[in-house]
Structure 1
Amino acid sequence: MTATTALQPPNTAPATAWRLTNATEQKVSALRATALTYLRTALAAQGRAHDPDALFGPELVLAELVTNAMRHGDAGQIDILMAVEVPHIWIAVSDTNGAAKPEINPAAPGTLPRGQGMRLVDALTCAWDTIPLGDGKLVTAVCPVPDLDRSRPEPAIAHQRPAPSLTPSHDGMAWLTRACPVDARASLAARWNRGENSPLPIGALFDAVAMNAKHAVAALDHLSTHGLTPGPVLAHYPPTGPETAYFLIPPGSRWPDIEGTHIVAEGRTLLCPRPGSTSNERKWLVPPDGSGHLTDPAHLADALTTAIAPANPAVLPAPAAGRRP
């Protein structure tokens, strides 16, 4: 990846541009990291506090446009330009295949619609367009600069587990969106882009076991001590009321009758922030990584009864495993 001065947009602040040659998935990932560094620096220079969690929208738009150019254009040379002019972020991606234009196409009966990536782009941008360039094309998109001034204090978390040193996971976000119907995914991404929680249906991609957050942290420590990797765990720390955590487990799993825990009923929804962020007192203790790995309910039940029962004899499993209600 080498710098280039191509694709300077008119009437904008000075831009930064890159050229990908022989583009690969690894090079696209490296570009995303470089672009985020540029965006944080440019926003800070224009007097805006910078927060990596709030930049996932522009990051996703950039990744989608570059991936489209790589898959449907000429991966031999892709030019990328980004500029920041508050309150907007300008992204442009060009390739040498003018015939393959990004589109959002309706689905034929009984099929999934094509152009799902561009539906996300459409939801996360103020506007986007395709401009012919001789034998190639230039795809431009304008993203709103998010409100990065978070004056609201973080919720007081009494039993917070140390946060893992992970960058926000686009793969985890993509995996979570699979819980929703196809026609609801763009709306889900838009809610995340606004810093809101999105309701994800229970029972299709995962089930959820609810419990006291303090017990969840103890169970996580037990699993870690025994070399067992948990799946995603979501915590809710309201200003008043009980602090609750949700372990995501495989759909249709059996769960023993452990006092203080319950399976969230199928058909209900779980309000989730974007992976790597906190929204309305909800945050991921273990964020989804995109692999689809979920906590083994047998391991979780053992961790709870082993780690919690000595301190709280009331937390014991019933003799027989119960079915999900």
Structure 2
Amino acid sequence: MRRVTRQATEWLAAAATDPRACKRQWRGDTGTAVLACGRFWDVLSVPEELGVLALDALLCLPQAPGPVLADAASRRVGFFLPPDPAGRWIGADIRYLGRGAWIAVPAPQRAAGRLRWLIPPDGSGTLFVPAAVELALQQALGTLAVQARADRRCPTCGASTAGPRPHGAERPG
């Protein structure tokens, strides 16, 4: 286990402009380092509710999962994907962090403040397959849409979709 943690630390720190400084930051007060996206990986950041449902679907696949980072303060989940210069991900509240973007991360073996690994890096460079993430997100959106219809809320923004009741319809009571 210790060897995997060391490999994961080295792999993640390699994305820093100064890997040794990165490791010192992980041991420091905040326990986080800011790393560049776009060289070894990109990050697809989605709302927490959507991300957790998608992660559940991804964990049912036979392939090894890539790293997943959760930010409790912003209520977002970030999936680590292979670098994609085009970064064609679009959708409501979807953020794609590629070349030129930076992300704060804790060391692979720990949580730091609002950040924690749902799946830490394994050190081998395993990343999620973008097509699998896309399908899992679509499935998660479908689940949220069904729940929203039952709650009479928009699955994207949460606004009430309850219109006027037809004449004679009972009010919940």
* Local SS of the residue matching 1:225: coil
Check the 8 A contact 1:220/1:230 in 2, yes or no.
no
* Local SS of the residue matching 1:278: coil
Q: Does 2:109 correspond to 1:273?
A: no
Where has structure 1 moved over 3 Å in runs of 4 or more?
253-256
Distance in structure 1 (CA, Å) of the matches to 2:138 and 2:36:
28
CA deviations on 1:266-321 (whole Å, 9 max, x unpaired) are: 21211000012111210110000100011111100100101222323756xxxxxx
* Local SS of the residue matching 1:251: coil
Identity of aligned residues (%): 26
Which structure carries more strand by proportion?
A: 1
* Local SS of the residue matching 1:198: strand
Q: Does 2:82 correspond to 1:250?
A: yes
- What is the alpha-carbon root mean square deviation over aligned residues? 2.2
* Local SS of the residue matching 1:247: strand
Report the CA distance shift for 1:267/1:256 in structure 2 as closer, same or farther (over 3 A): closer
What letter is aligned with 1:272?
A: V
Instruction: Name which of 169, 174, 187 aligns with 2:10.
Output: 174
Give the structure 1 partner of residue 57 of structure 2: 222
Q: How many residues get paired?
A: 146
Larger radius of gyration: 1
Q: Which runs of 5+ in 2 are unaligned?
A: 147-154, 157-173
1:30-49 mapped onto 2 (5 Å cutoff): none
Check the 8 A contact 1:223/1:229 in 2, yes or no.
no
Q: Which runs of 5+ in 1 are unaligned?
A: 1-28, 34-62, 64-167, 316-325
Distance in structure 2 (CA, Å) of the matches to 1:309 and 1:260:
16
Larger relative contact order (Cα-Cα within 8 Å, sequence gap ≥ 6): 2
* Local SS of the residue matching 2:59: helix
Deviation, structure 1 residue 265: 4.4
What letter is aligned with 1:305?
A: Q
Q: TM-score, normalised by structure 2?
A: 0.76
Report the CA distance shift for 1:256/1:187 in structure 2 as closer, same or farther (over 3 A): closer
* Local SS of the residue matching 2:39: coil
Give the structure 2 partner of residue 294 of structure 1: 127
